[in-house]
Amino acid sequence: MPRFRGTSIGKVENHHGIANTDVFGMPRSRNVNVAKTKRSTSSDIISRFVQQCWLLLFFRLPALYHSRMLQIAVNSGIDTTDLHLMSTTFSALWRHELPPSPLKFQSNNVAISPRLIHFKASWEVLVDDLLQEWKMFNLISALVQTSGPVLLSLDSQAGSDPIIKFGVLLSFVCAGISLLAGSFCVLQFGSMRKMPKATEWIREAHKSNQLVWWNCWILLAMPATWLAWSVILLLATMMSYTWRSTPQNDFSSVSARTVLSLQITVSAVLAFGVLCVGALALTLCLQFGDSVDQKFVYRVLNNREDPPKEDTDNPAVQLEQPKGSLHDFPVLSSHSQEQLPTASMSSRHAPFPTTKLMDTNSISPLSSKLPRYVQHQTQRFSPWSSFATDLQRAFQNPSSPSAEDDAFACVKRWNDQVFERNGLEAILCMEFPIESELDEGIYSVYVMDLAQARDDGRERLADIYGPLPPSLRKICLIDAMSPSVSRKRGHPLGLILEREPAPTPQGLNVTKTSGPAVESQNSPVIPLPLERPRIQASQTAQSTNRPIAVTHSTSQQRNRSYSSPQVAAGSRNTTSADSRARTKRTDSSRKTRRR
């Protein structure tokens, strides 16, 4: 059968593989070569003409399905390494709701590129769209099948016209074949959501050498193609009924040879349709059926015994394997082919302060500033290099609108699946340097030790996350929701660590105002200066060794300040003796002023 092959027309050599030149380098006689070239060109033109005619019978719908399938692979950006990973990874690994394994970092982690996650979502959407289309085609085919007999029942003479009768029969047969093909596609294509079968479809889409007469794209276009021919034949039959059903015409004037040709046509179309449905069923069952799953299991087992040696640059996301799989084996990271540790690096390590990993100004990891514990664990903790590579990809285009959301999703995913199990936590922050005049910051990622954080909520954020670096004016901790969602909802980006103002001199502690005294302290949760409830003049001052400025206001607008801590300002709950003593002191002071 002819295949899609490019015709190479160029330098022609003889059967010995020697160029057609003489000993002096001059070209030999090219009459025979020119004739061969002309014959190959003419055969190529004829072959392409036949191919285009065959595709026109399908209304070029196979090319449409091929482009839809290929566009998913192009948009997701997957490569051959990703296809190999899809074909050697159990589909259960693509589910995030699996319970974690009791043995951390042993037979439980597989490096999955974010491109594969995007491809999986796009592939599932495509499968759902195809199923919905085929269901709609089945409904239309059923309606077309009921329209043909109705057309014959409109007039008693219409059934005796061979053209109308066989046109209705052809439309009925095409609609029935479309219904059969669509039903079989709906039944079989529901299992195509699995990633191994998706890999087979993508590989078929990238093949440049395919059969012209039968391939996967003709298979996908069969329900729509047969339905289109059914509708066209039904419309042609309606036009024939419109122009031939007149009282003057006699339908019996058609010759017997014409009737025989129409009968042969209907039988041939029916046989061809049955052949196409059979080819569709065999292709879906053999090429994309249970045999694909069996080959996939064998590939997974062989990949466990002989892992691939190639190293890729794909970012990795740690997903979990289901418990109780066939063989527990240590899965290798896509960035480091060393075996992951069996024991967990949970909380048995020396505590270290919160340390900066990278920011948008320095895309490369600041490994020299990392804790010594983390530097020593680089060889054992293989996902660490994958996390650094993932961050580099997220921070590669900081001006992109989705860069901050990608970085937030990357940090959150790694915290949930890797870091929290090992006593670590990565924090996405926005830094505001001191020298920056505008309120614009840069994104950065810090690594902290969970053992240093308190769960009781009584310490300040500065005590939990460490002191603010001297070069920063403030830093925002983004750990609740993505920055884009926070801006849409009008919420702040996160908790803020701001540099505390310098302490004021003690001489400024005593103030004289017409209002109450103000004293501030740090909040137990948010490290920003918050105000305590103001001390009213009617409240009793606590006994202390330092003077408290208390201001009195009388009706004569006379102000007097007392420095004694034992004197109560404006107290109303006094005894009668105290009232008389206070009255005597007031009278004596008035006499003194009069003198």
Report, as an integer, the average pLDDT of 2-17. 38
Q: Decide which of 98 and 352 is more confident.
A: 352
Higher pLDDT, 306 or 271: 271
Residue that wins the pLDDT comparison between 191 and 326: 191
62-66, 301-305, 398-402, 467-471: range with highest mean pLDDT:
62-66
- Using N-to-C axis directions, what is the helix angle for 290-305 and 195-206, rounded to 10°? 100
170-195 pLDDT, tens digit per residue, is 999 999 999 999 999 999 888 888 88
Residues 6+ apart with CB under 8 A from 498: 468, 473, 474, 527, 528
- pLDDT band of residue 300 (cuts 50, 70, 90) is low
CB 465 within 8 A of CB 449: no
Cβ-contact 134, 185 below 8 angstroms: yes
Q: In the chain, what is the straight-line distance between the N-terminal and C-terminal CA atoms, in Å?
A: 133
Determine the Cα–Cα distance for residues 174 and 229; give it in Å rounded to an integer: 7
Q: What is the dihedral of CA 146, 147, 153, 156, to 10 degrees?
A: -130
Average pLDDT over residues 408-412: 83
**% of the chain beyond a pLDDT of 90:** 10
* Residues contacting residue 434 through CB under 8 Å, at least 6 positions apart: 471, 472, 473
Q: What is the pLDDT of residue 206?
A: 85
Residue 398 is predicted with a pLDDT of 63
What b-and-e string marks burial along 322-358, b requiring 16 or more CB atoms within 10 Å of the CB? eeeeeeebbbbbbbbeeebbeeebeeebeebebebbb
The pTM for the full model equals 0.43
> Quick one: three-class SS letters along 511-524?
CCCCCCECCEEECC
Return the pLDDT at 468. 72
- Per-residue pLDDT tens for 544-582? 343 333 333 333 433 333 333 333 333 334 444 554 544
Residues 417-452: tens digit of each pLDDT: 777 777 777 888 888 887 766 667 778 888 777 665
Residue 138 has pLDDT above 70, yes or no: yes
364-396 pLDDT, tens digit per residue, is 555 444 555 555 544 445 566 677 777 777 777
Mean per-residue pLDDT over the chain, rounded: 65
Contact between residue 423 and residue 449 where contact means Cβ atoms under 8 Å apart:
yes
Amino acid code (one letter) for 109: N
Nearest to 356 by CA among 344, 345, 371, 346: 371
- Residue 100 pLDDT more than 60? no
Closest C-alpha to 423, from 491, 348, 523: 348
pLDDT digits (tens, 9 = 90+) for 327-358: 222 222 333 333 333 333 333 444 556 777 77
Q: How confident is the model at residue 103 (pLDDT cuts 50, 70, 90)?
A: very low
Q: Which sign, positive or negative, has the C-alpha torsion 58, 64, 69, 73? A: positive
Average the pLDDT over each of 95-99, 306-310, 527-531 and give the range with the smallest value. 527-531
Residues 6 or more apart whose CB falls under 8 angstroms from that of 68 comprise 126
Q: How far apart are CA 12 and CA 18, in angstroms?
A: 9
Distance CA 199, CA 82 (A): 9
- For 224-248, how does the pLDDT look when each residue is reduced to its tens digit (9 = 90+)? 999 999 988 988 888 787 777 655 5
- The helix/strand/coil state of 121 is helix
Two tokens, residue 356 = 């900066």
> What's residue 177's pLDDT?
92
What pLDDT sits at residue 591? 55
CA dihedral 138→139→142→143, nearest 10 degrees, is -140
In the chain, what percentage of residues exceed pLDDT 70?
Answer: 49
- Pairwise pLDDT comparison (151 vs 318), residue with the higher score: 151
Per-residue pLDDT band for 10 (boundaries 50, 70, 90) equals very low
Rounded to an integer, what distance in angstroms lies between the CA atom of residue 499 and that of residue 210?
67
- Reading the block at residue 559, the tokens are 């102000």
Confidence of residue 51 (pLDDT cuts 50, 70, 90): confident
**153-175 average pLDDT score:** 83
